[in-house]
Structure 1
Amino acid sequence: MSQQDTHHESPVGKNATATIAYHSGPALPTSPIAGVTTLEDCTQQLVAVTDIRPSVSSFTLDGNGFQVVKHISAVSSPPYDHSSWTDPVVRKEVYDPEIIELAKSVTGAKKVMILLASSRNVPFKEPELAPPYPMPSKSSNGCNGGETGPAVRPQHELPTTRAKGFHKGEEEGPVRKPHKDWGPSGAWNTLRNWSQELIDEAGDIIKAGDVAAELPGGRAKNYQGRRWALYTTWRPLKTVKRDPMAYVDYWTADEQDGVSFWRNPPGVHGTFESDVLLTKANPKHKWYWISDQTPDEVLLMKIMDTESEKDGSDVAGGVHHCSFHLPGTEDEEVRESIETKFIAFW
């Protein structure tokens, strides 16, 4: 086969160089802005970002922690239009069910529940707004899932699916600081506090987790319950020309690369402690992206997976990720996207 023939058979990758704002601050960040700005407690580092476009099918959720799949949403064609993507009713009645079925198909999970839908449709702005939740009143490892700060009346009717960024005045832009959306303790606290529907579904898992937590090595080493995992999907609403997503291959990161940034979201028993893991620099990190991602290409990323925590497991877990600046794209249209975080049970 000639070199020219080979060129035409394979897509050409657009490898890039990105400036990543790695966290370099305290082990327990206390500033509400520390988790979202690149101006505080950061070390800026240039990293190579490999384009997966030429071999996109080689990257999988269980193999790498991320995967791009083809999926055409009904919202992308009539009777819907571009404004339908931010319509709460359309999201709830059309898009959320699509994501649930897609998630089951890709992961093999028996049950999927959407926890959070987010719309991003404004340019990156520095510094970003502080998180919507108050900071915990004291440093904690977050393992108890208890209430912190002022007493909050229990909210037994909290919805399982929450949303942000869909209404005027709450617009959000890309996130530049690399992170994982939940740490292990925050993920377990979310399971037992997020909504009554989730608690009811995961009752046996919570009990098995509590038993494992009392044994040497804790939950990660001793959990014997049903497999469950947290994921996020990211769909652009038009071809991405600026502020694309980048993600680290799970196997090139270490457990200690994440620093817990604690927040207090509302739960059925009052506020509870949940963490985002801010990413510390590690020369082992291998970053990836997909060039010119289209609305029919959905990025799925793992946040955590109990299967990956087992000794000797070859299943990937959660991945660090963020958006990054592509030089020369400042005049391109603002990136628009919809993200859906979901929990899966087997």
Structure 2
Amino acid sequence: MPRDVDTILHYYADPGDGSEPTPIYVGQGTVTNERKMAQVQVTVHDITERESEFTLDKTGFQLVTRPTTAAACVADNFENVDLIKSEYFPDTVNLLKEETAATRVFIFDHKVRRGPADWHSRGQGNASQRGPLHRVHIDQSYDGADFLVKWFLPDEADTLLQHRWQIINVWRPLHTIAKDPLAVADAHSVADTDLVEARVVYRDHTRKTWTVKAPPAGSPPHKWHYKHQQTTDEVMLIKCFDSADDGSVARRVPHSAFRDKEYDDAPPRESIEVRALVFYHGV
């Protein structure tokens, strides 16, 4: 049976003075995130038995049942980065092509998370303890998405950006999820005015993301969803960007880990997230 959860999500605490959010700094194995957040009470609705209602075009996220073919990665518990790139990346490319009918998929990043929820506060070297992210966010802003195509595919960017394209995260549990599950918001329930562009600063470049404000008083709440006890064969596709801006499809999906008090004593959540540029024209 579906199991909804009343919980707290951490939204951006906008000071209201027009100042930019505190940047996140990434470098030398350390992530520094001192952005101020506000706690907001929400209900996260379980999509169990309703999975087919949620699609990339309709809501911006989609749960796909797809066991991985990367047996060596499973046996290694996704510890070996070379194995992830040689076995799991191609498996993920195939999954995305089959689910979206894309002609080309370019993986530009991945994150394995198996650490504690307070990993941000652990100082120098905390990236090696990377755990769930309890902050409502979208990985790329609209300008930030364009930048990634130009950064990773500079010789082809002008042509690729003329056609529809997307950024999709492929999020898979390494073990059935109990603690710190992943919440995703129905894209159409989140207004662009709730999004605030923010910077992530790397040694050699800067990326732009969305941090997310709670809806203003009197506005409908954001619609949050998750899959209770999501298994290793259940993959959540999360659309971070879609170049289609005519209102016909969902464009971007806020997401965040959240606390389910029933599982406070469970082992830390383990997951792998692959981030991909998805194209529908050209080679």
Instruction: Tell me the TM-score normalized by structure 1.
Output: 0.72
- 1:338 Cα offset (Å): 0.4
Match of 1:249 in 2: 186
- 1:227 Cα offset (Å): 0.5
- 1:330 Cα offset (Å): 1.8
Match of 1:333 in 2: 267
Match of 1:183 in 2: 141
1:28 aligns with 2:20: yes
The 5 Å alignment of 1:1-346 reads: 12-26=1-15, 27-30=19-22, 32=24, 41-75=36-70, 77=71, 81-125=74-118, 127-128=120-121, 170-193=128-151, 195=152, 198-206=153-161, 225-265=162-202, 271-282=204-215, 283-307=220-244, 309-310=245-246, 313-346=247-280
Query: What secondary structure sits across from 1:21 in the alignment?
Result: strand
Identity %: 29
Structure 1: gaps of 5 or more residues: 1-11, 133-164, 207-224
Measure, in 2, the Cα distance between the counterparts of 1:330 and 1:22.
Answer: 21
Query: What secondary structure sits across from 2:261 in the alignment?
Result: coil
Measure, in 2, the Cα distance between the counterparts of 1:131 and 1:32.
Answer: 14
CA change 1:288–1:325 in 2 (3 A) is: same
- 1:41 Cα offset (Å): 2.2
Q: Determine if contact 1:36/1:175 at 8 Å carries over to the other structure.
A: no
- 1:130 Cα offset (Å): 7.5
Measure, in 1, the Cα distance between the counterparts of 2:132 and 2:73.
Answer: 25
CA RMSD of aligned residues (A): 2.3
- 1:253 Cα offset (Å): 0.5
Higher strand share: 2
Pairs aligned (count):
268
Match of 2:28 in 1: none
Measure, in 1, the Cα distance between the counterparts of 2:32 and 2:170.
Answer: 20
Provide, for residues 254-311 of structure 1, a one-character-per-residue CA deviation record: whole Å limited to 9, x for no partner.
Answer: 0011111212346xxxx3332121110014301001100000000000011011x12x
Amino acid at match of 1:272: H
Query: What secondary structure sits across from 2:225 in the alignment?
Result: strand
Query: What secondary structure sits across from 1:90 in the alignment?
Result: helix
Q: Determine if contact 1:32/1:131 at 8 Å carries over to the other structure.
A: no
Amino acid at match of 1:94: E
Instruction: Tell me the TM-score normalized by structure 2.
Output: 0.87
Measure, in 1, the Cα distance between the counterparts of 2:35 and 2:198.
Answer: 14
Measure, in 2, the Cα distance between the counterparts of 1:98 and 1:22.
Answer: 34
Amino acid at match of 2:269: R
CA change 1:62–1:199 in 2 (3 A) is: same
Structure 2: gaps of 5 or more residues: 26-30
Measure, in 2, the Cα distance between the counterparts of 1:130 and 1:255.
Answer: 33
Provide, for residues 123-165 of structure 1, a one-character-per-residue CA deviation record: whole Å limited to 9, x for no partner.
Answer: 1116546899xxxxxxxxxxxxxxxxxxxxxxxxxxxxxxxx9
Provide, for residues 47-98 of structure 1, a one-character-per-residue CA deviation record: whole Å limited to 9, x for no partner.
Answer: 01110012101110011000000111123x4x55542512112111110000
CA change 1:81–1:285 in 2 (3 A) is: closer
Measure, in 2, the Cα distance between the counterparts of 1:81 and 1:186.
Answer: 32
Moved more, 326-335 or 314-323: 326-335
Measure, in 1, the Cα distance between the counterparts of 2:32 and 2:237.
Answer: 22
Measure, in 1, the Cα distance between the counterparts of 2:105 and 2:73.
Answer: 25
Q: Determine if contact 2:184/2:254 at 8 Å carries over to the other structure.
A: yes
- 1:103 Cα offset (Å): 0.5
Measure, in 1, the Cα distance between the counterparts of 2:122 and 2:45.
Answer: 30
CA change 1:259–1:80 in 2 (3 A) is: closer
Moved more, 288-297 or 182-191: 182-191
Q: Determine if contact 1:32/1:130 at 8 Å carries over to the other structure.
A: no
Measure, in 1, the Cα distance between the counterparts of 2:157 and 2:62.
Answer: 26
CA change 1:41–1:173 in 2 (3 A) is: same
Amino acid at match of 1:29: P
CA change 1:69–1:263 in 2 (3 A) is: same
Work out which of the two has the higher radius of gyration on C-alpha atoms and give 1 or 2.
1
